[in-house]
Structures are given as C-alpha cells and as structure tokens.
Chain A
C-alpha cells in the first residue's frame, strides 16, 4: 500500500515519511524471538529452493547395501527402510510441506478475508447468516473432515490443500469481520461515504488496508498451524504419496522403526517443530510490530496513529 509513496512527494528536500512497512520491519528486527524465527524460516526456504544442490544424493536413489542404518559418513542421517538417504529425503520433503502450507494459507486467506469483509461491512442479516456458516465450519472436527475429503478425492497435494483451505478460512473470516466492524464505524469511513465512494470501494480501498495488520499476523500463525495439519494427515498416510517425500510422510514411516533407527522419525519431526515454531515466533513479533501501542514498549517510537489506535487493534 506504500508502493506509490515516492511518486507523491513533491519537495524532495523534505524528509519523506517512513512508511509503516519499514517501521514494522525495524521493530521486528528488535524482537529477538521473531528474529530467530525469521532466520529459521529463511533457512528452511533456502533449503526448499536449493534442495537439488544441497541434498547429498537423489532422494529416491536406493542404497540397498545400507538399509535402515544409523548415521554414517556416507549417509549423514542414515537411511530409510528401502535404503534411501534420509538427509536428502528430509531436504526434499521441505518442498512439499512448505508448498502445501503456503498454498492452503493463501487460499484460505483470500476466501476468509473476502467473506469477513462482506460480513463485517454489510452487517445485519448477511453477517448473521455468514457467521453462522462460519461457526458450522468451525465446529467440525478438523482431522475427521480432512480424512473424509482426502479419502473421497484420493490422497495428494490438491486434496490436502483443498481440505486445509476449507478448514482454515474461518480464522480469517472471523478476525477480519471483527476488525471491519470496528473500523466501519470510524469517521473516515463515513467521510468516504460522504464523498460518494461505493460500498465496494469502501471495503477494498478503505477497510482492507486498515485490517491488513491482523490479516498478516493471522496468516503467519495459520501457516504454522496448516503445516501441522498437513503433517498430521500425512502421518496418517493420506498425504502426498511415495516416492515424493514430505516431513509428515517420513515421520510416519520412521515411526515404525522408532526403536531401530530413532533418527528416522526424529529428523522430520524436528523439522516440523522448527517450521511451526518459526512461524509462531514471527507471528508473535509481527503482532507486536504492527501494533503501535505495543511498539513503544519495545523501545521504538510508534508512528502515532493517534489516541484511538483502534485501526491496528490487537488480534486476540
């Protein structure tokens, strides 16, 4: 939303405003835990992108002389039950896991934000109907629904992404709706109305940017949660199918050999934990960074949204 900032500044000698995004970024950098999360996340992304370069061998190549072995110089993390290099499989597994997490979060954010915006802005009967539907989705047990969808559509990436999306758009819808109801009553929305802006324009130009902060925070935390969900389904054997590897997948196979080669399940399990932790840390940091009222407690001057500050209110 700050992309056009510079094109508006006429007098170049005057200091331009430091945009909200930058202030938030600097605040985030002061947040030690979030910084740790960011470092972990960047590491994981690097791993996923450069998997072919980083992996010591092809993840599907079998070394039948070394089946189910512990760590050795040849196989740094050991091998799995059919002799594939575990390290390579974990590295390649990050691709499927992170991709599914990201895609499902993206889709659920798009759906949830749209629904939340409309419900919050329209209010009344629309809001009631939409929110009851949301409630209905929320009371379905997550894993059961996922198992039903995945077994109906067949295992694979599409059905996983679809089922997670169906489950997690509700978080976005709820938070966006609540925030929109808050912002909707502010005078500048009335002012925009008085200027002749249509409902559509008010929703997307005036309300959406104002509820962006909680959306970003929710998305980050939802990413962690969605990776967990994906791993859970994969652990039950309904995720991406062999020979493609994902962390949940590895964890499941490794689980059977827990007493023989503990690392087989420990390594992917640890990766899942790391990824989820990283997203939660970043989400935490972002929440603090995007809330001007919390910002001052971190030793950074907020950019003073005024006393109400309700525009960026905290996500609970």
Chain B
C-alpha cells in the first residue's frame, strides 16, 4: 500500500479523534487563552526587553499551547501501548515508523489551533498589533521551536507507564514551561539558572517566536541548541521505540 496515503489516513483519524477530546481543548487551547488574558490584563504596554508585554506573552502562551500538543503525544502513545491498540496496528499495513510519523504530524497539526487561538485572542483584545507577515513568520518559528519537544513526547511515550503517563507528562510540561521562561521571563532568573536554562531546548523554543516579534531571528546559537536536542532526544526515542517493538 502507498505509505504516504496510509500515513495521511491514519493522521486524519488521529487528529479527528483528539480534536473531539475535551481534555485536549481544555489544556492545549483554553488554558493558554485564559492565561494570556490574565497575564496581560495589568499593563499590556509594559516592556520586557525589546518587546511589549502583549506580544511577548502572546508568543509565550502560543508556544505553551503548541508544546502541550506535541508533548502529550507521549501520553497517547503510552495509553495505546497499554491498551493493546499498538499491537492491533502492528497487524495492519501501517509500519511502526509510519505510526510515529503520524503521531508527530498529528501533534503538529493540533498545535495549530492552540497557536492560532492565542494570536486571534491577542488581536481581538487589542494587546498585539503586528503585521500579518509577522504573525505568520512567528507562528512558523514557534512550530520549528517545538521540534525537539515533539521528540521528547515520543520518547516519554515509550519510557513511561500508562498509569502515570498523564500526570508525569503533565507536570513535565509545566516544568518545561518554567524552564523556557513562559511563566516568568528568563531575564529575571538568577544568572546561573538563566545560563542553565539556555542550554535546554525550551528557552529557545519560546525565543524562536519572540525574536521574530523583536524584528530579529533566533540566531545560529539557538538553532544549534534546538538541533542538538532534537538529535539527542530523537535517538533516545528511536532506541526505546525499538526496544518496545522487540519485546511487545
């Protein structure tokens, strides 16, 4: 069977299924919207570095929602392994690698509504005034920024047990958000902590979008950190995936 067709079919199913899940809508779409309106309610014209608070927090929350979508892929993989769905799929023409591609594609597709909803909210509340091109470019960079987190999601899916996957991955995303300066700007961290955080991918995930707002781009250093983490987490994910396939 045509692998591209198979992959598309299964991704469509995956997206359709998650989209109807209230938990997804609550955590990946509604939560960032609520937090955006709360965090920007005081003085949206205040400045954080070169960016006003409105667009800064818009990028933070869009990155958070998008990140939730790709990391919680891990929860679903863990549940599908435990529930025997993965075994059932292995009796079809869909290969293991294709399944992973579907999971990643589905995660990114579902990152879009989270991202777009926050952007629209910022515009509707008058807390961001940017050109259409800037919104588009920033959106694309948010998606590029979360690529290593998609790898992390897959890795967690094969690493954690289904009974605590939801809690573990949920609290992990909160920590990741903290480390990425999404709750508190990294500029206000102590120096040593800021340095540590800048070696982790999450800071750069959020920075990728922010730099576009600031009229710049993430730069080679940030891109390098994201690439290194993508390779590292991706290799680990493939390792644990293979182990799972052989043991099953």
Pairing of A with B:
no
**Chain B residues with a Cβ under 8 A of chain A:** none
**Chain A residues with a Cβ under 8 A of chain B:** none
